[in-house]
Structure 1
Amino acid sequence: MSKNSLEERLAELEMRLAFQDELINTLSDQVAKQEMDIRELWDAKKMLHKQLKDISPSNIRREEEETPPPHY
């Protein structure tokens, strides 16, 4: 192998490494953002679940509203 060929290969490897480092940083930032989004969505889901539970009537009557069974 010639010295020029080795230098070209080294330069190409350095460019690839720089590109991969940039890509890894971009992906890491994206994963962190998505994790925050997921946390916000879970919090919103919990809040909506609580609100729905508070406004929807239960199909089960409270004990004082129940009529006694016929055998009493």
Structure 2
Amino acid sequence: MSASLEERLTELEVRLAFVDDTVHALNETVATHDRLLHDLRSAMERLRGDLVAVRGALTHDARDEPPPPHY
């Protein structure tokens, strides 16, 4: 019975080591994705600002035009 208990304990230790490795790998993946998401959000905000600037430059206000020559 003792050998069986020792084998079971060894099996649990091996499984725990694999779980620890998996959790570590997943944690690195999540951290990488978090950094990527942060970078993408920053880029999107910059693009949004650029779009607002371009829209502002392309907007045509009739009040800015000189009056027609017949006035």
Show structure 1 runs of 4+ deviating over 4 A: none
- Structure 2: state its 5+ residue gaps: 65-71
* Residues 8-47 of structure 1: pairs in structure 2 closer than 5 A: 8-47=7-46
| Root mean square deviation of aligned Cα | 1.9
For 1:46, the aligned partner's letter is: E
Tell me by how many angstroms 1:49 deviates: 0.4
The two structures have a TM-score, normalised by structure 2, of 0.77
Please give the secondary structure, in 2, of the residue aligned with 1:19: helix
Identity %: 34
Structure with greater proportional helix content: 2
> Does structure 1 residue 49 correspond to structure 2 residue 48?
yes
* TM-score computed with the length of structure 1 as normaliser: 0.76
1:32-72 per-residue CA deviation (whole Å, 9 max, x = no partner) reads 1011001000001001101111111347x49x64xxxxxxx
Matched residues in 2 for 1:54 and 1:8: separation? 69
* Number of residue pairs aligned between Structure 1 and Structure 2: 63
